[in-house]
Amino acid sequence: MLTTRGTFNYRKLIVIIGLLAGAGGCGGSASGNGNGNVAALPNAVPTTDPPAAIPTNSPITGDDWVTFAHDQARTGYEAQDTGLSSQTAQGLKLRWQYAAGEGIYSSPVVYGGLVIIATFTTGTITALSASTGSVVWQRVLGGQTDATPTIADNTLFVGTHLFGVGGPTTYYAVPSNFYAINLLDGTIKWDVPLVAQDRSSPVVNDGVVYVGIGGGDPPNCLQGGVNAYDESSGATIWQWQVNPTAQGGGSVWGPLAYDGARIVAGTGNTCNTPVMTANSVVALNPANGSLDWSLVAQPNSASDDDTGGGAMVSGDYAFAINKDGSLYSVDRANGRLNFSKMLNPVDFNGGWSTPTTDGTTIVVGTGLYGTEATAASARRARGGYYQLATHRSAALGSTYGQLEALDFSGNVKWTVTTQNQFFGYAAINNGVVVAGLDQAVVALSLASGTTLWSYPTPALVDASPAIVSSGVYAADTDGNVYAFTIPPAANSSARRRR
């Protein structure tokens, strides 16, 4: 398994723990209903000045969920012993709840005593105390954010995507920004303008930040792809475009992955320009952005068959699900297809999620979109462009989806059916899967899919959860953030007495 943990300076970042001691009076809530409201807070609200000296004798937390699906391989797998198991999952208890005041679609990241969340409408980044849920700092970016941030080297990296008003001709027309934010106090280190949108969790490696760029759908047909920036300054190092033709479209919507040698990404459709890098899984050379390989899921590059979720890397293979409903297993060294498994036969809506794994079982979500999905194949047969209606306005029960577990040969082990399409990823730890299913945070047995525990929420859980030593963290589309304490094992006290 690849992780980003080695890129951090733990001695420096431990200063955050000192900050948390004074955080109790700044918004948030340690109760069950929360009282934070991002609209009422200014741009940046640090609770106290960082201490001049860095303490060297403070304990280091075991929380290491620093990016989308835990690590830059996007495995969604927490290898540490958090205390969660099939026996303890049923004892998960709400420790605190925070109300952000607007919807959350990006996943929380947890590190150094902080839980970081990003809200959608105003792009407000909030750092909460993992122990109490109180606000440590906030930063309002002023653009929609549903990309999960990535933490590296005491810095939070995240982008925005601004949607224009006035109909489809301006829907993708507004430029957006990508930010490097100081993890200690929320101040902006640098930001760069983007020609289109960032909805992709970035990769940070060896002093370079790799960012996925979207916005390549009609009618604007901007040229999306992957940009590489200097981690210290934000200077552009290289740009790779799905489609080199001006106004030809093409996007990278989902989180990027890194396999130790190459950047792996899913790509979206073009605007009627035939290219072999659209609706695909691609691998790029991180040094210069050159294309190593491309596996084409759908040869008609203008059809709306994005690989809209992220690719996940495990062992010798990369895995990704396309909107055609198939899960693809690809040799990550050369792009050769290992297998494809049809999980959902309805075109354009077959899958938007990112597969995750513990190394033996793959968990991936698929989904249909109500009556919209039934006509998708007819639209494709006519050759017309099909734009999926936004899932954010979907009423409960108007959609349905599935969470499925497979072995590494593509054989389905179990399936859980939901009322709503599954987005994001499923988190895995010690034989337990934690995911947002409909209006609940749910823990399932990785072996069987059996429900071990469920916590109902007032809104859909679109953001994927994090499992770390300090607990389980999740958020819903009403902007509620939840922290659950993992109970000790039944025999843990007996082991201590011995």
Distance CA 410, CA 146 (A): 30
Predicted local confidence at residue 52, as pLDDT: 28
Domain that holds residue 461: 5-385+394-497
Predicted local confidence at residue 13, as pLDDT: 42
**Would residue 430 be called left, alpha or beta, if left means φ above 0 and alpha means ψ between -120 and 50 degrees?**
left
Helices (H) and strands (E) in the chain, counts: 5, 33
Distance CA 261, CA 266 (A): 17
Distance CA 183, CA 155 (A): 5
User: DSSP characters for 457-488?
Assistant: -SS---SPPEEETTEEEEE-TTSEEEEEEPPP
Predicted local confidence at residue 161, as pLDDT: 79
User: DSSP characters for 297-352?
Assistant: S-S-TTSS----S--EEETTEEEEE-TTSEEEEEETTT--EEEEEES--STTSS--
Running DSSP on this structure, what letter comes out for residue 373?
H
How many domains is the chain built from?
A: 1
The candidate with the shortest Cα–Cα distance to 112, out of 86, 142, 136, is: 136
Distance CA 285, CA 113 (A): 35
Q: Is 179 exposed, middle or buried (0-12, 13-18, 19+ CB in 10 A)?
A: buried
Q: Could you report the per-residue pLDDT of 389-431, keeping only the tens digit for each?
A: 333 334 444 557 889 999 999 999 999 988 887 889 999 999 9
How distant is the alpha carbon of residue 397 from its chain centre? 24
How distant is the alpha carbon of residue 229 from its chain centre? 20
Distance CA 494, CA 92 (A): 20
Give the total residue count for the chain.
498
Distance CA 319, CA 2 (A): 15
User: DSSP characters for 87-138?
Assistant: TTGGG-EEEEEEE-SS---SPPEEETTEEEEE-SSS-EEEEEETTT--EEEE
Predicted local confidence at residue 491, as pLDDT: 56
Rg (CA), the chain: 21
The candidate with the shortest Cα–Cα distance to 278, out of 322, 230, 238, 328, is: 322
Q: In which residue ranges of the chain is pLDDT below 50?
A: 1-60, 167-169, 173, 371-397, 493-498
Distance CA 68, CA 91 (A): 26
- Residue 194 maps to which CATH number? 2.140.10.10
Predicted local confidence at residue 21, as pLDDT: 37
The candidate with the shortest Cα–Cα distance to 282, out of 243, 245, 332, is: 332
* CA-based end-to-end distance of the chain: 34
Q: What angle do CA 199, 104, 357 make, to 5 degrees?
A: 65
| 492 contacts: CB under 8 Å, gap ≥ 6 | none
